[in-house]
Amino acid sequence: MSMMSEFKEFAVKGNVMDLAVGVIIGGAFGKIVDSVVGDLIMPVVGAVFGKLDFSNLFVVLGQIPAGTGATLADLKKAGVPVFAYGNFITVAVNFAILAFIIFMMVKQINRLKKEAPAPAPAPDPVAPEDVMLLREIRDSLKK
């Protein structure tokens, strides 16, 4: 089998295509969750805690050069080492929400995948008459 035909067989297998679709949808879904956290949840949390902006929570670990702004973006641009724990809080909340949503999706999919119990096997029509009578007696005693 040539290398090209092996690659074609590999690339069109169902698992590879499912994985590709999952990665693409996961990337798009991650952007949605980023927006929900950054644009909806964190501003509300910040307002509850007194107009706090989590993206600008940091501790400067080095000397600030003269003429450098005091925002996180300015300090990073100037190469000043900063401990940006506000960004970590935002990313941690983002992860928690994403993990919870994925958990709920997997739980729902597993609930839908549960199969109904298999029906009881039909009595064997070629069984001897005494076996059929014993089965009828057994079934009537179960009631």
Give the span between the Cα atoms of 11 and 136, in whole angstroms.
Answer: 57
The amino acid sitting at 99 is: A
pLDDT over 70 at 14, yes or no? no
- What integer is the mean pLDDT of 105-128? 74
Beta strands in 2-102 (DSSP E): 59-60, 82-83
Give the span between the Cα atoms of 88 and 59, in whole angstroms.
Answer: 13
Quick check: 81 and 59 in contact, CB under 8 A?
A: no
pTM: 0.54
Beta strands in 9-92 (DSSP E): 59-60, 82-83
Rg value, the chain, Cα: 31
pLDDT over 70 at 126, yes or no? no
| DSSP 8-state symbol, 132 | H
Q: Which domains does the chain have, with CATH numbers?
A: 3-52+84-142 (1.10.1200.120)
Contacts of 127 (CB under 8 A, 6+ apart): 135
pLDDT over 70 at 51, yes or no? no
- Which pLDDT belongs to residue 90? 80
User: What is the percentage of the chain residues whose pLDDT exceeds 70?
Assistant: 88
- Which pLDDT belongs to residue 141? 92
Of the two residues 115 and 33, the one the predictor is more confident about is: 33
- What integer is the mean pLDDT of 85-98? 83
- What integer is the mean pLDDT of 36-52? 79
